[in-house]
Structure 1
């Protein structure tokens, strides 16, 4: 159903939001106003109006789905939402999975704080919106959606809430709203942790935790792509989204197809024996299914390479016809740019966004500046930035407007254009850019860009990133732990190549503040200047803490480890899995309580004594048993290096001028 035919969405929302207000907010307002020295009528009208207005606007805004699959059409979320399934992040957990077809307290059974993580396009944001709408429909509480990319050092959670409520007097109303929130019945959806600026992430993380601590009587849902900094939310119960199965993908395709003509043809093409294995990946996430539909609707062919897939989506958007004006009507571009020129500007624009820490949302002024820089860079100085922005919003709808903000329709589109810029436009600095991104301390934020680049240039990816990774590994084996030998030496090197590891003897008692996990981070920060949001920590890794002398093992995952895991996903044979140890006897390293020990290759270090060396290896493996621990196989790495270097020599000797 198109949104143009749904004239009464506001009418539908009003009675629902009024019930929510009367049930959860009005009683609290009545309590609070008794202790406030303000005119009761002002409080009644001001806050009732503000919250009702907020709830109505929130319902109306999130009931409509903006996605590239519908180009200029707006669709009701409920018309195209295929229920997603979440499962406990621990794959060995026997508690099963939960179908998210409506709001239910079942997701909060284990904790009032839950974390939903998964890769690009799995539907985290759409699921949050579905839960929010259902929460209002069922009168389960007061939902508030906080898009975390809008938080920074200059704007915390409560300021974002006040901005949404548009209060009369911000200074006075800030405390009033906090008092209201502390009384409970709010459900906060913190969406897109991975979209917080890397520069601001540590600060914003601390502010989110402070807010949650103050508002502990409420429920919290945090969504994100996988990020090391999420270890800061260790007390959140963790879920991940299960990939779509083919039947769910087919149902989604059918829902996208208003004409009922495209879906049967596309599904038939997918199910052809030669096609299915090639595009199976496109059927696992709602985003890729929607883009597959868009690409096929335009060209009625299935692109198998990921970058060709995205190019076909761009062509579909650029050349899309306006169905409301007849199939042949195509809107003239305000910028007067052709398809290739427009794509070239978008490549530059996407890369400039990448340089700004993958920024995907802008104010009007910010967007104007970066568009102007992009146009200047490619030499399109005669094009007005305002005209290009109109195209982004209307004629080539890759952007959408959300209140005062302008944003990419989806982060993966920005990442595609950035990867295209690196492949096509970066010229002599291409290798430097690839290495900078691949070995960036927050390289997980750029892993989708690397994946898209690998699709475009697999040999180039291998000759720069794979070769650099393997060379670093061999150098590490040659130049670390020189005063040691034997199998345990190699094991320690394999364990520490991808991780920076610490040991600290401390017994956790969650009832006391001094023996809380945060105390470990405080000690490490004081002694080693560790930045807490980038570190994870092992807690209760054995049945009895006494078996390992209450030793906790904080670790920082290095960029190299993320690349090892990515290469494993690509199927390289130089990746191997380390067997994980269990405790056969008690381990006592005689560590001083509450003193942190850094795992290094210093010969005289306590952790490297003859009696402790193998025990430390075992402890690290016990800690890492919560995941499949991957490392590099030395012999196969050397073989791979030889293959890459041999290919490079062959290419350089084969002169292209020999004719």
Structure 2
């Protein structure tokens, strides 16, 4: 869109809605305002211009320069229940229902779709669309409504709080809430509640929320949940051809997709982000890695070298920092670990500089923070400016580099990192990638010591007959569906440990897992009332038991009549015995692996050689060779 077209479109947007908003809401406000209709018109026009410029262009992992969103956008496909829904149907449905939750995996195109729809609503000129990135709640969170109001008031100073409420009630403000999964786990429960309250309080307001799977947000029954679908072969090739990239490489890659490459790697190629990355890596390697972390590693190496290869004349531009590919990755590992562990998905220039200073000290290079920052933005394309903030080109890269940091760090620091990130394992990939990158380090640093501590603690609880506490801490979540109660247990930091044990160790054939299905509520609520009354006398006071029901912590299997007939304490005890037996089996398995590692002649030789090198270097007065992760352990907790 040219500057003239944008100016005219923005003027039409402002003119279309200013009269109604001014006469129906602003003039009726009880508070005295100095906002005239021409002032509001100018404010609305400026907003339309700014947001169109902001959301109308996007940066992709493939293109060195920003691309027009409409040039590369591929229409989304959704699933609602068992029904397939295209984008046009979504537009009709959302006009009728006013609210939606859009779920999808990392890189599936949720935010791109939401920005595209935002631009459509600007063009429709019916109300004021507001795009709000929910990660902004991580800074001094109070309530969602207050953050939204502050955001709107900063853009439109004439919108006081009562006008804001009135506009929402009338549906004259639309809210597009992006990436609930980026909200810190410490406030996630409150934010989830606030979202539901917002939906209930303003039924006429159009509210669309995006999030990854596993975020634990319980979509209200009045809200339609749309599941964004993987790319088809046609969508994948259409995206590739639309990207501003080497034409011959695009043609070869698309021909390979049509010749079987897509079918062989549909799990990766059906994801827009991963499909774009594969275009980069395929040009250089002509193969597709079968492990996700290798996929990101290849992408990083291609991006690092691209600032050389993009010059057909053979011109080589050195990085300002002078870092090589390994040193720059070590810096990125540190940056990702520090920011991700503190759930920072965007950071100010000061925060970025301070973290880079820590990375420089940890890695042992002499580059300036400003040089590394400029290289990461302009040459390597791993960090992108976003207004007054900076962020990774995609959060999945932040997860990859954080996993890399864990896999290369000393055990003490690795354990601190894993403890800091484990609350996000339901939505993110740090722990699975860390395990894949270096399974021995993960076991030595976190899995073995943590499991041993939990087993010791559970055995002590068992002696004190705290069966319920053991079960509550380990049982997986269940849901409430219709008239049937499938009540879930709460998940705190400790109970996340068992989730990781299950995902990392449950695939082993050396032991049996617990049959959790025998402990889940699968009965109609009315049939459980007698059991609930019995539980009150054994496990809690009536008030405490009511709290337990609300948080979800009562389990019984009514299919097994013998089990259902047991006293509730016996039910808890049976489950606790199974849990501890499984932990003992896991510990025995890990202890056996540890003994095998320690008995390996090669590893014993490597450990002895490394220790000897450090001792010699110390005797000679030299600085011991750096091992990534030797920095201050507090880095991982910042």
Class of the TM-score when normalised by the shorter of the 2 chains: 0.7 to 0.9
Question: 1:81 aligns to what?
Answer: 73
Matched, 1:316 2:290: no
Question: 2:500 aligns to what?
Answer: 563
Pair 345,132 (structure 1): closer, same or farther in 2 beyond 3 Å: same
Rounded to whole Å, the distance in 1 between the matches of 2:216 and 2:472 is 19
Rounded to whole Å, the distance in 2 between the matches of 1:360 and 1:385 is 19
Judge conservation of contact 2:412–2:445 (CA < 8 Å) in 1: no
Pair 168,419 (structure 1): closer, same or farther in 2 beyond 3 Å: closer
Matched, 1:444 2:423: no
Question: 2:609 aligns to what?
Answer: none
Match of 1:58 among 51, 54, 64: 51
Match of 2:208 among 189, 204, 221: 221
Query: Which residues in structure 2 correspond to 1:416-565 (within 5 Å)?
Result: 416-424=400-408, 426-429=409-412, 432-433=415-416, 436-437=419-420, 440-444=422-426, 447-461=428-442, 496=472, 498-499=474-475, 538=480, 540-542=482-484, 553=487, 555-557=489-491, 558-560=495-497, 562-563=499-500
Matched, 1:370 2:349: no
* 1:578 Cα deviation from its structure 2 partner: 2.6
Judge conservation of contact 1:115–1:236 (CA < 8 Å) in 2: yes
Matched, 1:231 2:218: yes
Rounded to whole Å, the distance in 1 between the matches of 2:554 and 2:386 is 57
Deviations 1:586-619 (A, max 9, x none): 333264898452799xxxx9999x9999459999
Q: Secondary structure of the residue that 1:319 maps to in structure 2?
A: helix
* 1:146 Cα deviation from its structure 2 partner: 0.2
Judge conservation of contact 1:257–1:263 (CA < 8 Å) in 2: no
Question: 1:379 aligns to what?
Answer: 364
Judge conservation of contact 2:340–2:402 (CA < 8 Å) in 1: yes
* 1:652 Cα deviation from its structure 2 partner: 1.0
Pair 350,448 (structure 1): closer, same or farther in 2 beyond 3 Å: same
Judge conservation of contact 1:84–1:100 (CA < 8 Å) in 2: yes
Q: Secondary structure of the residue that 1:386 maps to in structure 2?
A: helix
Question: 2:345 aligns to what?
Answer: 360
Rounded to whole Å, the distance in 1 between the matches of 2:450 and 2:33 is 66
Judge conservation of contact 1:113–1:236 (CA < 8 Å) in 2: yes
Match of 1:256 among 233, 239, 243: 243
Question: 1:348 aligns to what?
Answer: 334
Q: Secondary structure of the residue that 1:317 maps to in structure 2?
A: helix
Question: 1:508 aligns to what?
Answer: none
Instruction: Write 1 or 2 for the structure with the bigger share of helix.
Output: 2
Deviations 1:289-344 (A, max 9, x none): 11111222344443333223212211222222489965534443222222222111
Rounded to whole Å, the distance in 1 between the matches of 2:590 and 2:270 is 32
Question: 1:588 aligns to what?
Answer: 529
Pair 44,329 (structure 1): closer, same or farther in 2 beyond 3 Å: farther
Question: 1:116 aligns to what?
Answer: 102
Pair 429,587 (structure 1): closer, same or farther in 2 beyond 3 Å: closer
Report the RMSD for the aligned CA atoms in angstroms: 4.5
Pair 343,560 (structure 1): closer, same or farther in 2 beyond 3 Å: closer
Question: 1:518 aligns to what?
Answer: none
Rounded to whole Å, the distance in 2 between the matches of 1:565 and 1:643 is 14
Provide the TM-score with structure 1 as the length reference: 0.73
* 1:374 Cα deviation from its structure 2 partner: 1.8
Rounded to whole Å, the distance in 2 between the matches of 1:55 and 1:161 is 18
What are structure 1's unaligned runs of at least 5 residues? 1-7, 502-535, 543-550, 620-631
Rounded to whole Å, the distance in 1 between the matches of 2:93 and 2:239 is 25
Judge conservation of contact 2:180–2:215 (CA < 8 Å) in 1: no
What are structure 2's unaligned runs of at least 5 residues? 569-577, 607-638
* 1:84 Cα deviation from its structure 2 partner: 2.4
Pair 31,578 (structure 1): closer, same or farther in 2 beyond 3 Å: same
Rounded to whole Å, the distance in 1 between the matches of 2:605 and 2:505 is 39
* 1:108 Cα deviation from its structure 2 partner: 6.2
Judge conservation of contact 2:331–2:360 (CA < 8 Å) in 1: yes
